[in-house]
Amino acid sequence: MQVISFHLARADNGVIGVDGQLPWRLPADLKRFKAQTMGKPMIMGRKTFDSFPAPLPGRRHIVLTRDRNWHAEGAEVAHTPAEALALAGPGEVAVIGGAEVFALFTPDRIELTEVHAAPKGDAVVPAFGVEWREVAREDFPEEAGRPAYSFVTLERTG
């Protein structure tokens, strides 16, 4: 059985990225992301894969792309969501973005970092609807020029 989880940081205005990068620097969010995805297959778009300086250690990188000729060291290539899920196999599958990739999957759980800011950006994920309930929240204040943020876990209600 597969369990699909989304892992993302999203600003109050829905922004998740600008020019292929995160519009903030939150070391605690990166540490949480690493802990939650370690040892799991991660499904991502090509732009997300390209935003990493190198493949992230300890995780499989399944890259969803329309380009039939694209390949990169450390990436397993899929051309459809079904292919990506088949490559991932059973167990938890972490979908990590970008916005177009999130729109292609229906998660069972969402691990969300709410960034309490409204930066400019070119990648946006809409708010999650009423079919989600919050099951965990940790709030952190603004500090050292970094915005306040919250770690939130959402589960599907039905």
What domain range is 79 assigned to?
2-156
Contacts of 39 (CB under 8 A, 6+ apart): 58, 59
Instruction: Please tell me the pTM assigned to this model.
Output: 0.95
Listing DSSP states for 76-116 in one string gives: EEESSHHHHHHHH-SEEEEEEE-HHHHTT---SEEEEEEE-
**Mean pLDDT of the residues in the chain:** 96
pLDDT in tens, 23-49: 999 999 999 999 999 999 999 999 999
Quote the pLDDT of residue 150. Answer: 98
Q: Residue 83 — very low, low, confident or very high, per pLDDT cuts 50/70/90?
A: very high
Are 120 and 23 contacting, i.e. CB atoms less than 8 angstroms apart? yes
Indicate which CATH number applies to the domain containing 149. 3.40.430.10
Show the tokens assigned to 135. Answer: 């099951």
For 134-156, what is each residue's pLDDT tens digit? 999 999 999 999 999 999 999 99
Q: What is the pLDDT of residue 143?
A: 94
Domains identified in the chain, total number = 1
Residues 50-71 have pLDDT tens digits of 999 999 999 999 999 999 999 9
User: In the structure encoding, which two tokens stand for residue 10, read together?
Assistant: 């999203």
